[in-house]
């Protein structure tokens, strides 16, 4: 997830852990202090318990990243601003992040495979047993395995066809 990449990037740039917390509540408080209190539309996508808890807290404005990350270049701060966004559909994708100006000198456009975004099959508003999760994982592995086997069969068939063309 790009959010995690942002956390690692901050640690590399500042030698500090951005969201260090003694427990999950303390860590959530650190996130709110940096990213601000989420808007109602964002809160509507989390569990009722999380929504009630966050709504019970004081309002936190989003931190000024130029102050928070003053030791970072403006380009790095711009990238971090676009990474630390609550809504996954608004947050940069991996492809968008690697295309950001910050990474221009590190890019190798001919060697940057792009995959489909991962869609978590679990609903945050549901409670799952260990058995439910095992079953969902098994089903996902079976589907992905068949997709991989199909792609390999197609690749082999194309390779054979290419060899036959070259031989004639």
H helices within 18-129, ranges in order?
A: 24-35, 40-43, 48-56, 65-68, 74-83, 94-98
pLDDT in tens, 102-121: 999 888 878 877 666 666 66
> How large is the average pLDDT for residues 90-109?
90
Q: Please give the Cα distance from 165 to 168 (Å, whole number).
A: 5
Please return the burial class of 3, using the count of CB atoms within 10 Å of its CB with bins 0-12, 13-18 and 19+.
middle
pLDDT in tens, 144-164: 888 888 888 888 888 877 777
Q: What tokens were used for 31?
A: 């996130």
Considering the entire predicted model, what is its pTM?
0.66
């Amino acid at each position: 997830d790009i959010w995690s990449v942002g956390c690692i990037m901050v640690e590399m740039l500042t030698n500090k852990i951005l969201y260090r917390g003694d427990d999950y509540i303390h860590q959530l408080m650190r996130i709110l202090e940096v990213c601000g209190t989420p808007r109602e539309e964002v809160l509507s996508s989390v569990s009722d318990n999380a929504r009630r808890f966050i709504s019970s807290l004081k309002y936190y404005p989003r931190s000024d990243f130029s102050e928070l990350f003053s030791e970072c270049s403006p380009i790095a701060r711009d990238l971090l601003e676009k990474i630390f966004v609550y809504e996954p559909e608004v947050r940069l994708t991996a492809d968008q992040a690697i295309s950001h100006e910050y990474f221009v000198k590190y890019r190798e456009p001919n060697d940057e495979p792009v995959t489909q975004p991962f869609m978590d099959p679990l609903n945050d508003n549901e409670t799952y047993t260990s058995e439910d999760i095992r079953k969902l994982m098994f089903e996902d592995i079976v589907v992905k395995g068949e997709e991989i086997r199909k792609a390999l069969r197609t690749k082999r068939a194309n390779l054979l066809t290419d060899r036959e063309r070259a031989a004639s």
